[in-house]
Each structure stands twice: as C-alpha cells, then as structure tokens.
Amino acid sequence: MATKAATRGNRKMTTPFDEDVPAVTDAEATTDLPEVDVPEALDDETDAPAEGTTTTTDEKPKAEKKPARDVPPEGYITPVQFAKELTKHLEAQGAENKHGKIRMPSEGDAGNVIPPQQMYSTLNQKNSKNPMPTYVSTKDGQVFKTGEAPEGAALSRVNLLVLDEALAWWDAKGERVAARNTAAAEKDAKKAAKSTDAPAEAEADNTEVVEAE
C-alpha cells in the first residue's frame, strides 16, 4: 500500500497551461485531477544510527535541472502563457463561448479557459489577412519579427508574443468579426426585402388599364 501511495504522489500533474502542448489542433482543453500531497515521514519514524557509530553519505549533489526549452526573452511570452492571460482578460470583459462564461479555474470550479491549442491554431492560420504579430528569438539573445530573422540564424524560440500587443490584436479581431456579421445581416435583410417587393411590382405591371368611355 505504501508503494502505491508513493507512486501516486510522484505522478506529474498537468494543467491546460503546461508548456508541452501539441500545435495546430482545436481539441478542447482538459482538466486533470488535483495533485495529492503525500505527507513526509514523521521525525520519530526515521531510523536513528546506533550509538557509537558514524554515518557517511556518498550522495553527490544533484545537478540543477535545466529547462526543457530556452526561456523567452524578457517582455515576451509563449502561446501557452498568452492563453492564460487571455482567459483572465476575457473573464474581466464577461465574454462567453459555446461552453458559457469564460473564467479561470477556482476552488471547486474547473473554469472555462481558452485552451492553448486554440492559440496554436490561430497562429498557424497562414492565409490570414491580418495575422497575430509574433516574434522569434535567436541563440545569441536577439529578437526579430517572425520572418525577419537573418538567414541561417540559430533560433531559440518561435511564436513569441508581446502581451499588450496580442491582447489588442485579439480585441480588434472580435470587432472585425462583429462588423462582418453586421454587414452580412444587413445584406441578407436587403436581399429579403427586394425579393418580397418583386411580386408586387410584377402584379402592378400586369394590371389591365380600362379607359372610360
């Protein structure tokens, strides 16, 4: 039983905002179960060395774990980080999607977050007329707009974003979509009105005129 509990305690829990997210997919974000803390052994449960004996440790100091990927330069964030910030931004606006009110997770509430996969899907819309502004960083610490890095430069990170700029782009995108929907609705209304008036005009053209004697 102790072994199973220890195994459960050592499992790595993930959240929708973990960095290792597959790109270009519209799959819905999933929420993992909360991590369960395994209590450490009590002091009186540890084995004490026998009197008159000495203990030696041959353990070598653990090497500092390096991040799996290079840290973004200061002032830039990843799509995963932006998904989290965008969720907060839209929650403050009272925005909704097909799942209801957009909101961050809280105690007892899994929330309704913007999934990181949606960010990658948005960034990979190559034919977009107005793409989200992104940046790349190089191994020597320089940052360039996507597509403007020197040829042959060793890239460190791609799809980097500037938070305020990306949020402004997202809000403008919403305004553009609303404007297109309004224009489409007006066009449909005019088309419907025109089709309704057409039979009346045709009937008037076919009315026989009788002159008075």
Residue 174 lies in a domain: yes
For the stretch 63-84, pLDDT in tens is: 677 667 899 999 999 999 999 9
Do 157 and 141 form a contact (C-beta atoms < 8 A)? no
CB count, 10 Å around CB of 124? 13
Q: How far apart are CA 72 and CA 160, in angstroms?
A: 7
Residue 206 lies in a domain: no
Residue 187 lies in a domain: yes
Do 31 and 18 form a contact (C-beta atoms < 8 A)? no
Residue 205 lies in a domain: no
Mean pLDDT lowest among 60-64, 86-90, 192-196? 60-64
Percent of the chain with pLDDT over 90: 45
Domain interval for residue 179: 170-194
pTM of the model: 0.59
Domain count, the chain: 1
Residue 165 lies in a domain: no
Do 49 and 55 form a contact (C-beta atoms < 8 A)? yes
